[in-house]
Amino acid sequence: MVTATRIPPPMRHRTPAAGPRRSPAVPLLTAAWAGGCAVLGLWWADTGSVIGAAGWLNGSGRITGLLCGYMCALLVALMARTPWLERGVGSDRAVRWHASAGRWTVGLLLAHTVLITLGYAAQAHDNAVREFLTITLDLPEMLKGALGAAILLTVGFVSARAVRRRMRYETWYYLHLLTYGAVFLAFWHQLALGADFVGNAAARAAWYALYAGAAGLVLWFRVLVPVRLNLRHRLRVEAVVPEAPGVHSVWVRGRHLERLGARPGQFLRWRFLSPGLWHTSHPYSLSAPPRPDLLRITVKALGDHSAAVPTVRRGTRVWAEGPYGALTADRRRRRKVLLLAGGTGITPLRALFETLPAAPGDLTLLYRGRSAEELALRHELEAIAGRRGARLLYALNAPDGSRVPITADRLRATLPDIAEHDVFLCGPRPLSVAAYDALRAAGVPASRIHDESFEF
């Protein structure tokens, strides 16, 4: 059911100019590497001479086990959706860090399992398969550790790009949550059998603090903060309005939304508490500047969830988390700005198009689409452009349906001084990659191309 009600006209909204904030990426990565070095230092301090093949295998197994345990804690911390991290480095970059940490964790887990098994087998002069069964079945906490390892390997397998692309988002998401259980099971195995923790109270206390800190971040930002947000703002669907073929805007009403802290360019994770939608949440960007009582998202039917969003009824309760994302005015470094959108990538850029401070002629929006009929929010964009003296350009397919690529030459012909612009880029991944390459070839420095990807 599509519900259409009268929505008030857009408010005049200006975001105060802000200089670029210093990214926390470098200090965070430095701290992560420093933690890894501290873990290696723990092994070095507790290790005497290494003798023979068994000694080298066991030592290598201990190192990879310690590093795997450390990476497990980082993995959980990166799943916490900490706002200052996602706003500081960008949600897509935080996701890439999480994916990289996952690959390191799985690789270290496999190396630890193989090296320890071979080391124990060499020490006992026994078959590796029998030794593996003995370790798993006889040593304390090993059944928990083995189960945790199996879960981590399964999650790692389904997170591989080739597998993930063939799965429904909801299936991947709930399998991914098993990581918490895997880490919990493996934690007790580490303390029970880790030679560096047995008899070393300081090391055990540090390990408890590491895991408690990661768990605390998840509890606070994934559970308590969303509960507080939704109790405070009491979000409900106000209206669902068609915008273009397969594209609908959802207006959500709430209380005191100015305290939410959402900014143009950001997104929230939305869970509509209606049949078929309540069990999962999806990220959708704000497609209009937030108001004290209203938020708006614009959704294109690209999957099961987005196709079902237009069926929600007025008054449906909404559970939201966020706001997230760093595609905001804070990234701006130059006076002139180009917003380059493709498909539903127009949603965060439409909000920025209305709010980015700019003199007439300094702001340009280039909107890539297949046809004029599929340009969502077109009338709003034209009204904003007229009101602000901004340039609004469309890049549409040729009359025969062939795609007209965005190239460096076309960009320079459109904006001869494009190298002096900041560029905010949002769209499907193939478009973003091609546009990024064209922008770099046109002379735009990488530091002034700002984009976020929402691919899982």
**pLDDT single digits (tens) 271-292:** 999 988 888 888 899 999 999 9
Among residues 395, 358, 389, the alpha carbon closest in space to that of 375 is found at: 395
For residue 418, the model assigns a pLDDT of: 94
The one-character DSSP state at 400 is T
What is the spatial distance between Cα 420 and Cα 111, in angstroms, rounded to a whole number?
49
Per cent of the chain over pLDDT 70 is: 94
Taking only the tens place, the pLDDT of each residue in 419-429 is: 999 999 998 88
Contact 189, 109 (CB under 8 A): no
| Cβ-proximal residues to 156 (8 Å cutoff; 6+ apart), any chain | 102, 103, 105, 106
Instruction: Give Cβ neighbours of residue 395 (< 8 Å, ≥ 6 apart).
Output: 366, 367, 368, 369, 404, 406
Both tokens assigned to 359? 């003199």
Check whether 10 has a pLDDT greater than 50: no
Which token pair is 13?
Answer: 């909204």
Q: How far apart are CA 35 and CA 450, in angstroms?
A: 30
Condensed to tens digits (0 to 9), the pLDDT of residues 51-108 reads 788 888 988 998 999 999 999 999 999 888 888 787 777 777 888 888 888 899 999 9
Using DSSP's 3-state secondary structure scheme, residue 383 falls into helix
Residue 364: how many other CB atoms lie within 10 Å: 22
Helices (H), 234-345: 304-308
H helix or E strand, kind and range, residue 272: strand 267-272
Residue pair 332/306 in contact (Cβ under 8 Å)? The answer is: no
Q: Concatenated DSSP letters for 17-85?
A: P-PPPPPSHHHHHHHHHHHHHHHHHHHHHH-----HHHHHHHHHHHHHHHHHHHHHHHHHHHTT--HHH
- The rounded distance, in Å, linking the Cα atoms of 23 and 209 is 26
Total-model pTM: 0.80
pLDDT digits (tens, 9 = 90+) for 183-242: 898 888 888 877 778 778 888 899 999 999 999 999 999 999 999 999 999 999 999 999
What single DSSP character describes residue 13? -
For the segment 388-436, what is each residue's pLDDT rounded down to a tens digit? 999 999 988 877 777 878 899 999 999 999 999 999 999 888 888 899 9
> Residue 106 carries which DSSP code?
H
Q: What single-letter DSSP state applies at residue 97?
A: H
Q: In sequence order, what DSSP letters do the residues of 419-448 get, joined into one string?
A: GGEEEEEES-HHHHHHHHHHHHHTT--GGG
